[in-house]
Amino acid sequence: MAAFRDPRSRLVAIYVGLVALFYAIHALPGGMTYRGGAGEAVLWIVVDVILIAYIAKGSRVATAIPLVLNVFFLATYVTFGLGPDGIRMVDAVPLLVVAAQSIVLVLLLRRGRAVPSSRAAPAG
């Protein structure tokens, strides 16, 4: 577990878990669906995997891309998806997961790149 001692690594791991949770919610019966079917879902999974790889390497651009997409997703839902009864319970959990993803992404952007240790290497 030495890999998760760095706070940035922990945030990346949390983000990966939240992304996986979001896809798991999609897979549940009655969950959100993609208009393009399974092909579109696979496309977004591949895009997320690539972005996560760059986020893990410290790319601020790769961190900002899903943050912007999440903000647009949340704004679009609030603008066009709310029914007369407000947020449906079936939509509440995915929206909370996307909001949590956004918070983690903001924390990653604030933390910046992983800084190498400034301690001298042990002699030997």
Query: CA 61, 107, 58: angle at the middle one, nearest 5?
Result: 40
pLDDT in tens, 81-103: 777 777 777 778 889 999 999 99
Check the CA dihedral 16-72-50-90 and report its sign.
positive
pLDDT in tens, 10-28: 999 999 999 999 988 877 7
- Predicted TM-score (pTM) above 0.85: no
